[in-house]
Structure 1
Amino acid sequence: MNYFKNIKQFTFSILVAMLLLQSCSDFLEQEPGTQISVTEQLATKNGVLQALNGTYRELEANLRSERFGTYADLQGGNIKFTPYPTTRSSGVGEIVTPTNIENLYSFDDKSVDSDFASFYTGSYDIINQCNLILEFTDALPDATETEKNEIKAEALTIRAYSHFLLSEVYSQNYGFTEDASHLGIIYNTQSITKGLKYPARETVAKTYSLIIEDITTALSLYSNTLLSAGPAYSYFNATSAKALLARVYLSKSDWKNAYDTANDVITNSGVNLMSTADYIAQWEKQDTPVSEILLELSIPGDNSSGTGANSMFAFFGYTSETVYNNYIASQDLLDLYSATDIRKQMFLERPILTLINNQLVKVNYYFTKKFQGNAAYVSFRLSEQYLIRAEAALKLNNTDQAKTDLNIIRGRANASLLTDTENLEDAIFLERRKELCFEGHLFFDIVRNKKSPSRNDGCISLNCSPSYPSPKFVLPIPLNNIYLNANLKQNESY
């Protein structure tokens, strides 16, 4: 949705029309110049499956966007920027903040023209599409009960996932207040075809309750029947829904449920960790995810240029000394790996001309190998579940299990094994940072643990390391949405 610079021009009728059109447009287009109504589209199983596929496509695009795809690692300190290449007409070798994330990088996003506005509206668009699917599926005359249940399970899980990510970005961490009574998000469970409503934000406690309710309801419906074409890892199933649930419980500090759910995934998913010998090669594969993936949404298949423009390569990729993208590993991250850790091999070290003291000199930069191929956004993989189980075990005073799980990940990486249980909390935090880098966790881990981000190497912001707690650790609700809904309260300081 386009945002008007002048709020006075932002009329109620125009916005409602735009919302209605955007909410349905992706799966109502049948062929060029031809549209059908929502009722017609969702009257058959095939139409609903087309709608569900369209929803997955929007989810993938929302997660793979430059803003969200780099946000947690950028704000947390895993990422810095490359200099302008020699192919530019001016500014060669200069290092500047990419325009799309300029304000949020400085912890100073603007509600009037938020860097994250498209993520906010995109997420609620996805949620509205899920609600439409849920509202029409039970009446399908040509679908079996098993098929209906599978469709509803996937739509409920996508709805929960989208709400969870909105909560991560727009609400303070669960433990920000003792009873999680601080502002959460609007939780939508009905499509806008049911009538336009003006809800208020739930508390964070209520937001998480609704997320968990959606996922647990979905888990009761899954049949793990693949209804759509394409790789199974690109669609939610019972296992990846449980992986999401484990992450939600972790964010909620519900240690018992986090432990049990992650343990269920580890024990019963049938998925195994990558081996030490195969770890680097798996990440270097073209077009396909690593074998321990639980959910990786397929990228669009219309990129004929071979440059990875439709994949995470667009932000992290390296082609040559003059062709490369904006985001690289900071020395803050690189210094965490021990000499024997094979994950040090997960970085391409490449020299790039950089302007230093008005002279162009070659400086080595480090591009992650996770996204050099035609790589999609990594939503869930098995390593995270081991680290969730380790953290939950520690909080449940099961230090032996915590050390065992941590050593499984460290041992696989050929890092030194822990021999005692001292400082396990910090060790788990750092292992998450090393193992899950560039997969969208670090900043959320920092605030969940009530820590402060520390951005040293390469930070070019005036606000590199703000202290916890801070109202700037959440982003502003886009002002257009505030103007539309008088019951929608803005985040503090915006």
Structure 2
Amino acid sequence: MKYLKYITIALLIFSVQSCSDFLEQEPGLRTSIDELFQNKQGALRALNGLYRNLEENVRGERFAVYSDLQGGNIKFSPVSSTGQITAPLNVRELYSFEDLAETSNFKLFYDESYDIINQANLILEHTPSLPDATETEKNKIKAEALTIRAYTHFLLALVYSQNYGYTPNASHPGIVYNTESIKSGVTYPARKTAAETYDLIINDLKSALENYSDTSSLAGPSYSFFNKNNTKALLARVYLNKRDWTNAYETANDVITNSGFTLVSSSNLVAQWSEPDLPLSETLMEFSVSKDAEGTVSSSMSSYFGYDGSIYARYVASNDLINLYENNDIRKQLFVTAPLSTLVNGVRRDMNYSFTRKYQGNAGYVVFRLSEMYLIRAEAAFQNNRPDLALADINIIRARANATLLTSTANLKEDILLERRKELCFEGQFFFDLTRNQMGITRNDGCVSNNCSISYPSLKFVLPIPLFNTNLNENLQQNESY
């Protein structure tokens, strides 16, 4: 599209190649951007397009399954026509921890992420000059753009940078952190350290929180847009990954105490997860899928996890995950078990597979739930030498699930990780939980890779920066081993 001429330098440095809905404008491209931002309505159009691009990027198959697939929560269903079990093409190399810089499975995610960041920067640069917006309205737009910029950088850091504790003082490479739009001239930005990256993310989020007000900039369900509550939830997750236990505890506690959200009751948990279109009432943020004028959804999370009789998706729960639940744990009811024809030793026979109920119907991408805040608070309390508080929070989640309550703190670190795995499965957390805790991966059931178990540390726990990008930017350091 014509807007791509305006971000030529972004194309050169980051290979931003997506067809974005952000700016569909007439010829005279610099003028078109100025025209778009000549009033509040144009800025809101840009912000709405930014959300759409962000939703499409995280809901893309590669990122949507990445953390649970690598960690071992997910295996593959058989191909319906042949009964064979193979890794889908879009994730084949990364699943085996053999992704290549030349043909990276994640190249599109990398490119789209920096495109989103560039769009957010354009909004931040033009919003202060809007002639027909009040200061409160300008601040709201800025707050959401800042949060999206921080969130996108955070996701890039999770995928392309080793966990915060990988080196003393987090001195290992983080990511390129862009705080200005790319307009003219050629710049070759270098990667920040991991410590610098997290400081920049936190600074953006704190600035955003200073600018939010109680109403949303855009029309639509409040859970689909960033606001003060879910930005605090993001900040709590960032602090957790930074191993800043005091701030992680205080921020998660703030959300639990002051957001007005409550946990879904035991009696409603399965029903709410099974309801099409709507998220759980405890959902702090969900990127809803777009619908056309007739209300039709072109794609949703059910594209990867759905089950409808003879029509089913490629990703199912591994028995490594299923076997963790006690029989009386109601979260075990969040799986649909179905027999599928599977090729075994040259003969097809029916074998049972477990599909998650979390992503049936027109399911959106779940970003933050209140239950995660309890688990962040528990982990932070444990690390702050308050095992009593950590145990209490774990038992709140276990009690809601009708699981046996814990009575001992002897193995509390392992118990917290286990509870996160069961509660937040299919929500993009588990592999990052393992690396944050500096643990390796073990994938048993259904593993079709040569690398089913990898010890920590591993150079393969981060993905390669696409070769196209490192070739064009001499200062863009490639991850070691690629």
TM-score bracket, normalised by the shorter chain, equals over 0.9
Partner of 2:272: 282
Which amino acid is the alignment partner of residue 225 of structure 1? T
Partner of 1:107: 97
Q: Does 1:316 align with 2:305?
A: yes
SS at match of 1:328: strand
Which amino acid is the alignment partner of residue 69 of structure 2? L
Q: Give the counterpart of 1:140 among 106, 130, 138.
A: 130
Q: What are the superposed Cα offsets for residues 146-188 of structure 1, whole Å, 9 maximum, x if unpaired?
A: 0000000000000000000000000000000011000000000
Shift of 1:83: 0.5
SS at match of 2:211: coil
Shift of 1:398: 1.1
Shift of 1:37: 1.2
Shift of 1:304: 6.8
Partner of 1:269: 259
Q: Residues 241, 277 of structure 1: CA spacing in aligned structure 2 closer, same or farther, 3 A cutoff?
A: same
State how far apart, in whole Å, the 1-side matches of 2:267 and 2:410 are: 29
State how far apart, in whole Å, the 2-side matches of 1:457 and 1:18 are: 38
Q: Give the counterpart of 1:450 among 438, 442, 451.
A: 438
8 A contact 1:293–1:382 mirrored in 2: yes
* TM-score (ref. length: structure 2): 0.95
8 A contact 1:20–1:192 mirrored in 2: no
Shift of 1:360: 1.0
Partner of 1:41: 36
Identity %: 60
Q: Give the counterpart of 2:420 among 424, 432, 449.
A: 432
Shift of 1:194: 5.6
Q: What are the superposed Cα offsets for residues 291-316 of structure 1, whole Å, 9 maximum, x if unpaired?
A: 0011101211139796x651000000
Q: Give the counterpart of 1:72 among 67, 74, 93.
A: 67
Which amino acid is the alignment partner of residue 235 of structure 2? L
Shift of 1:358: 1.4
Q: What are the superposed Cα offsets for residues 9-50 of structure 1, whole Å, 9 maximum, x if unpaired?
A: xxx989449968859x5222269x998711111121110110
Q: Give the counterpart of 1:155 among 145, 152, 156.
A: 145
Which amino acid is the alignment partner of residue 90 of structure 2? N
State how far apart, in whole Å, the 1-side matches of 2:364 and 2:330 are: 23
8 A contact 1:180–1:204 mirrored in 2: yes
Shift of 1:483: 1.1
Q: Give the counterpart of 1:81 among 72, 76, 84.
A: 76
Q: What are the superposed Cα offsets for residues 209-248 of structure 1, whole Å, 9 maximum, x if unpaired?
A: 0000000011111113212111111000010000000000
Q: What are the superposed Cα offsets for residues 46-100 of structure 1, whole Å, 9 maximum, x if unpaired?
A: 1011000101001000110100000000000000001011xx3xxx111011000
Q: Does 1:227 align with 2:217?
A: yes
Q: Give the counterpart of 1:406 among 383, 394, 414.
A: 394
8 A contact 2:16–2:112 mirrored in 1: no
State how far apart, in whole Å, the 1-side matches of 2:149 and 2:343 are: 46
Partner of 2:156: 166
8 A contact 1:407–1:417 mirrored in 2: yes
Q: Does 1:376 align with 2:354?
A: no
Q: Residues 360, 171 of structure 1: CA spacing in aligned structure 2 closer, same or farther, 3 A cutoff?
A: same
Which amino acid is the alignment partner of residue 111 of structure 1? A
Which amino acid is the alignment partner of residue 360 of structure 1? R
Q: Give the counterpart of 2:283 among 283, 286, 293.
A: 293
State how far apart, in whole Å, the 1-side matches of 2:10 and 2:140 are: 36
Number of aligned residue pairs: give it: 475
Q: What are the superposed Cα offsets for residues 344-378 of structure 1, whole Å, 9 maximum, x if unpaired?
A: 00000001000112111111100000001210010
Shift of 1:118: 0.5
Shift of 1:449: 0.3
Which amino acid is the alignment partner of residue 49 of structure 1? L
State how far apart, in whole Å, the 1-side matches of 2:35 and 2:327 are: 61
Larger mean CA deviation between 51-60 and 37-46 belongs to: 37-46
8 A contact 1:337–1:434 mirrored in 2: yes
Q: Residues 274, 295 of structure 1: CA spacing in aligned structure 2 closer, same or farther, 3 A cutoff?
A: same
State how far apart, in whole Å, the 2-side matches of 1:326 and 1:226 are: 37
Unaligned 5+ runs, structure 1: 2-11
Q: Give the counterpart of 1:128 among 118, 132, 139.
A: 118
State how far apart, in whole Å, the 2-side matches of 1:20 and 1:391 are: 37
State how far apart, in whole Å, the 1-side matches of 2:203 and 2:11 are: 31
Q: Residues 47, 20 of structure 1: CA spacing in aligned structure 2 closer, same or farther, 3 A cutoff?
A: farther
8 A contact 1:154–1:218 mirrored in 2: yes
8 A contact 1:303–1:309 mirrored in 2: no
Shift of 1:493: 0.5
SS at match of 2:442: coil
State how far apart, in whole Å, the 1-side matches of 2:72 and 2:222 are: 33
Q: Residues 164, 365 of structure 1: CA spacing in aligned structure 2 closer, same or farther, 3 A cutoff?
A: same
State how far apart, in whole Å, the 2-side matches of 1:20 and 1:459 are: 34
SS at match of 2:86: coil
Q: Does 1:346 align with 2:341?
A: no
Q: Give the counterpart of 1:465 among 435, 453, 462.
A: 453
SS at match of 1:220: helix
Q: Give the counterpart of 1:485 among 461, 473, 476.
A: 473
Q: Does 1:239 align with 2:234?
A: no
8 A contact 1:150–1:224 mirrored in 2: no
State how far apart, in whole Å, the 2-side matches of 1:18 and 1:214 are: 21
SS at match of 1:183: coil
State how far apart, in whole Å, the 2-side matches of 1:175 and 1:29 are: 43
* TM-score (ref. length: structure 1): 0.93
Q: Residues 21, 75 of structure 1: CA spacing in aligned structure 2 closer, same or farther, 3 A cutoff?
A: closer
Which amino acid is the alignment partner of residue 203 of structure 1? T
State how far apart, in whole Å, the 1-side matches of 2:124 and 2:343 are: 55
8 A contact 1:303–1:310 mirrored in 2: no
Partner of 2:47: 52
Which amino acid is the alignment partner of residue 382 of structure 2? L
Partner of 1:256: 246
Q: Residues 20, 479 of structure 1: CA spacing in aligned structure 2 closer, same or farther, 3 A cutoff?
A: closer
Shift of 1:195: 4.3
Q: What are the superposed Cα offsets for residues 189-224 of structure 1, whole Å, 9 maximum, x if unpaired?
A: 000126432110000000000000000011111113
Partner of 2:315: 327
Unaligned 5+ runs, structure 2: 2-7
State how far apart, in whole Å, the 1-side matches of 2:36 and 2:262 are: 40
Larger mean CA deviation between 187-196 and 404-413 belongs to: 187-196
Q: Residues 75, 22 of structure 1: CA spacing in aligned structure 2 closer, same or farther, 3 A cutoff?
A: closer
8 A contact 2:17–2:111 mirrored in 1: no
State how far apart, in whole Å, the 2-side matches of 1:20 and 1:408 are: 44
**Counterpart mapping for 1:141-220 below 5 A:** 141-193=131-183, 195-220=185-210
SS at match of 2:285: strand
State how far apart, in whole Å, the 1-side matches of 2:279 and 2:249 are: 26
State how far apart, in whole Å, the 2-side matches of 1:464 and 1:304 are: 45
8 A contact 1:263–1:385 mirrored in 2: yes
